[in-house]
Amino acid sequence: MKAKVTNKKSLFYGQEFVIDIMNYQFLGSKKDKIIVGFGDVEFSDLNQSERRIILHREILKISVPKALNGLFYYTLLIDTICRHIGEDFNSVELIKDEYKELKRVWEKNILILVDSMPIRINIIGQYYSKNNIDINITTVPKEEFIRECLIEEEKLEKEIRERSKRIEGIKRAVSKAV
């Protein structure tokens, strides 16, 4: 997959590069040391799977298990979601993304809101195998979804409070050292 920087205000304007770094906001090239936003580029040499990932780039908020290729994994997620809801989708909000490693298998538990439909996806796979992957996708009742959202929100707020305390401690240490 290639991209050309088309934003005239970008430091990398006019450069063409092979994409090897991508998340839902940015893409780039490690080799060429380029990082730009999605809106700053024009894509070329895209196959069907890559086009679908670009179209549904919010799916990139979900982390890739260590054992899988990102292109394969995201295409699998997009196809599974489209089959479950019966149509294409416009937006994805990630609520929970848990990853567990077991002896020879890995497991992902994902809770997302696709358009306005709460969905839980459980994926279990063997390491470095595309053939031994089990995907279970279910629509979550709204009450259960709201309850899980509130639990996740509280976890994140607790983490923010703890990190804020740590930041304050670091600031105190710096001011004392100066």
Strand ranges for 40-91 from DSSP E:
41-44
18, 1 contact by CB (below 8 A)? yes
CA separation, residue 76 to residues 51, 53, 136, 143, 146 (Å): 14, 10, 12, 28, 26
User: CA 49 to CA 1: how far, in whole Å?
Assistant: 11
Q: Kindly report the number of other CB atoms within 10 A of residue 34's CB atom.
A: 21
Instruction: Using the predicted structure, report yes or no on whether residue 128 has a pLDDT greater than 80.
Output: no
pLDDT level of residue 112 (50, 70, 90 thresholds): very high
Q: Where does the pLDDT of residue 178 fall: very low under 50, low under 70, confident under 90, or very high at 90 and above?
A: confident
Can you read off the two tokens belonging to residue 167?
A: 């930041």
| Residue 169 pLDDT greater than 90, yes or no | yes
Encode pLDDT of 35-79 as tens digits: 999 889 999 888 888 888 888 888 899 988 876 777 888 888 999
What would the mean pLDDT of 151-156 be, rounded to a whole number? 96
pTM of the model: 0.81
Please give the pLDDT value at position 21: 86
- pLDDT mean across residues, the chain: 90
pLDDT score of 103: 82
Half-sphere exposure of 73 (CA within 13 A, CB side): 20
Nearest residue to 5 via CA among 31, 32, 24, 23: 32
